[in-house]
Amino acid sequence: MKVLVLFAFAMLGCSLAGARIVSKCELKQHLAVVFNSLPDNIKQSGLSGDRFLAKVVCHVEQLSGFNTSAVTQLGKQSQESSESGSASNEGGKSKPPQKQGGISKKDDKDMTLYGLFQLPEGLVCSDNITLPNLCGISCNKLTDDDISDDISCVVKLLTDIVKNGFMTENSKKVWNVVKQLIDDKCKNLNQYFGEC
């Protein structure tokens, strides 16, 4: 009986955490559906095709390890936690394998990156509901197991920069996020989805 109760508590704890590891193939499938439904003028700007999709999914793999609850502290706070040897941050959420999300080192003053895509607080999400942000969501929405809002936010950033260029609100920061999504750090993109 005690084992059953312990098992129930363990399962409840896992379900309350709201985090999961998304597979490469699952993320590819979700993104392909969304990217294929973009207007033609957006797709013609290079936001389509298997190579683009592989770049975005590879970015997710490198920065969050496909972990929906990944949270990364940048700047002074991350230096303090790394000096103390801390392997996790607030709420017990694990840090992703790398620290660089959509923000360059010179812009990483005490910033937090959230979720699969490691999107920056303040720009795309807010811990304070009253503060405006480009995606209009709470940062907690980027760390739950529902990846649809994460994908919607990324698509909004991509389409905003294509439609409005540097006229987009916070264009430099948005461009830094988009650059990370489409950079060329990943190799063998033609075979990246081989197991899918």
Q: What is the pLDDT along the chain (196 residues), one digit of tens a residue?
A: 333 333 333 333 343 456 799 999 999 999 999 988 888 877 777 767 888 899 999 999 999 999 999 999 987 544 444 443 333 344 444 444 443 444 444 444 678 999 999 999 988 999 876 678 889 999 999 999 999 999 999 999 888 888 877 676 777 888 888 887 777 788 888 899 999 9
Between β-strands 119-120 and 111-114, what pairing exists: parallel, antiparallel or unpaired?
antiparallel
pLDDT at 28: 96
Nearest-angstrom CA–CA distance, 1 and 57: 44
Determine the Cα–Cα distance for residues 5 and 119; give it in Å rounded to an integer.
38
pLDDT at 153: 95
CB-based burial label for 75 (10 Å; 0-12, 13-18, 19+): middle
Task: Give the pLDDT of residue 91.
Answer: 42
Secondary structure of residue 77 in the 3-state scheme: helix
Question: What is the C-alpha separation between 161 and 167, in angstroms, rounded?
Answer: 8
- 53 to each of 2, 46, 59, 128, 143, how far by Cα in Å? 48, 10, 10, 32, 21
Torsions phi, psi of 140, nearest 5? -60, -30
Q: What are residue 88's DSSP bridge partners? A: 94
pLDDT at 146 (0 to 100): 96
pLDDT score of 178: 81
Are 34 and 150 contacting, i.e. CB atoms less than 8 angstroms apart?
A: no
**Cβ neighbours, 10 Å, residue 5:** 9
Give the contacts of 158 (CB within 8 A, at least 6 positions apart): 42, 47, 178, 181
Task: Kindly list the distances between the CA atom of residue 111 and the CA atoms of 2, 32, 78, in Å, as whole numbers in the listed order.
Answer: 44, 30, 9
- Cα separation of 27 and 173, whole Å? 25
Rounded Cα distance between 178 and 176, Å, is: 6
